[in-house]
Amino acid sequence: MNSIVLAVIVMMALSLVRVPVILALIIATFAGGMSAGMSVGDVIGAFEGGLGNGATIALSYALLGAFAVALSRSGITHLLAEKIVGAIGAEPGGRNIFYAKMLLCGALLICASLAETIVPVHIAFIPILVPPLLEVMDRIKLDRRAAACAVTCGLILPYMLLPVGFGAVYQQNILGENINLAGEGLDFVIDTATIPLAMVIPSLGMVAGVLIAVLISYRKPRTYEVKGVGARNEKVAVSTTLTTGQIALSILGIVAALVTQLATDSMMLGGLIGFAVLSGSGFFKWHEVDDVFVTGLRMMALVGFIMVTAQGFAAVMQETGEVSALVEGSTALIGDSKGLAAFMMLLVGLLITMGIGSSFSTVPIIAVIYVPLCINFGFSPLATVALIGTAGALGDAGSPASDSTLGPTAGFNADGQHDHIWDTVVPTFLHFNLPLLAAGWIAAMVL
């Protein structure tokens, strides 16, 4: 069995039986590396070499977690929850509850989309925006799996379809540039302006997935215990009354964090500045600052360590050099079937991205192999873009190591009631990867 396939299967199987994700990633790393012929020392060296790639984002999330807890202690999150619940009524009827759920899921999807395009902060908004809304979600019994699907859709759909923000990076710098580079010696060139057109049908698969998740799969009420942000077994003490000045200071902290990140391109510095503003605003006593900070770090610790471990796992998978072997092995099964060729290329893309955890890192690896295959099977330039673009996006949702799943978990598990695998990874895998497989295949066959 190909080492990448083996590693992904081991990682997913262990995760599904509730082996801690970090441990599952480490075991899968050794399984994949050693099956590719790497020695234990080689695996350890490549793994440790990759760990540093995730350190910055892990520390950034830890500081954003501290900021989120400080924001909760200020009382602004409790006030927001009360206002939203009051807007739908203290004891809303069934129809009001449904509208409130749709409103929240729609708002989360839009915010995630804006974070990928107009305000390119990516997943940095999640620890700030989502924890304050948990109390509202719990009051209306919104299934957090539906909300997680909405956020993940908002993180992936925009870069697939819209050439703005991270979408411009993915479509022009990653997808278009690598396809043209691979086709340079084969007289094959695409116009990057046509990429959004090629990605319309695959994007419809994402839309179908989020609608099914929100309106069908997770529509029923789900009960959670109403707890404080950063709390595990006890309530977090928060202010019960806020003056206009205190509300202004809370908003100032949020704005300062976002503006700092946009200006410096640093989530870490943004979280630090936001925390500093709230710490100096008198919402909690100075001797409590350390407790608030440590509570935030603890809240984000798991996600941070998973991010670091995932980078080590990805480094070993790339070190194996088994991507070419995986593609060659799959092409041996294709024969002359164009439809089967499209399906196998998408399936291989799914496996590679689930292992590496990033569509942006997958496209440069597969484009050099997929472009000649697409030319040989007679796929048009638009179909080639749809195949490679979708193959890269596949697995971004549904991978335990992807920031598109780790980000939502960081927000929805702020009170310890949202499981990374069963409440984020499995729902997003089922509702996005399967529709994307189907929609990507249709696009390749009709374009």
DSSP assignments along 374-387, one per residue: HHHTT--HHHHHHH
pLDDT at site 184: 82
Residues lower than pLDDT 70 in the chain: 1, 53-54, 57, 61, 72, 75-95, 119-121, 227-243, 265, 267, 282-287, 299-300, 303, 323-324, 326-335, 355-358, 361
Sign of CA dihedral 42, 45, 49, 55: positive
φ and ψ at 42, to 5 degrees? -65, -40
Sign of CA dihedral 225, 228, 233, 235: negative
Residue indicated by tokens 């710098």 = 173
pLDDT at site 92: 52
Look up the domain containing 339 and give its range. 3-228+298-446
pLDDT at site 144: 94
Nearest to 40 by CA among 54, 29, 53, 24: 29
pTM: 0.76
Q: Is residue 96 situated within a structural domain?
A: yes
Q: Is residue 87 situated within a structural domain?
A: yes
- Looking at residue 122, what DSSP letter applies? G
Helices of type H across 140-264:
144-161, 166-168, 177-182, 195-198, 200-212, 244-264
CA 336 vs CA 233, 332, 349, 373: distances in Å: 60, 10, 20, 12
Q: Is residue 425 situated within a structural domain?
A: yes
Show the tokens assigned to 245.
């000045």
Q: How far apart are CA 116 and CA 293, in angstroms?
A: 28
CB 61 within 8 A of CB 303: yes
Buried b (16+ CB within 10 A) or exposed e, 149-166: bbbbbbbbbbbbbbbbbb
Sign of CA dihedral 186, 347, 158, 299: negative
Q: Calculate the CA 351 to chain-centre distance.
A: 16
Q: How far apart are CA 108 and CA 134, in angstroms?
A: 12
Buried b (16+ CB within 10 A) or exposed e, 260-295: bbeeeebbbbbbbbbbbbbbebebbeeeebeebbeb
Q: Is residue 271 situated within a structural domain?
A: no
Q: How far apart are CA 259 and CA 121, in angstroms?
A: 10
pLDDT at site 40: 87
Q: Is residue 283 situated within a structural domain?
A: no
Q: Is residue 286 situated within a structural domain?
A: no
Question: How many structural domains compose the chain?
Answer: 1
At a CB cut-off of 8 Å and minimum separation 6, what does 338 contact? Answer: 377, 378, 379, 445
Q: Is residue 428 situated within a structural domain?
A: yes
Residue indicated by tokens 């092995």 = 329
Q: Is residue 279 situated within a structural domain?
A: no
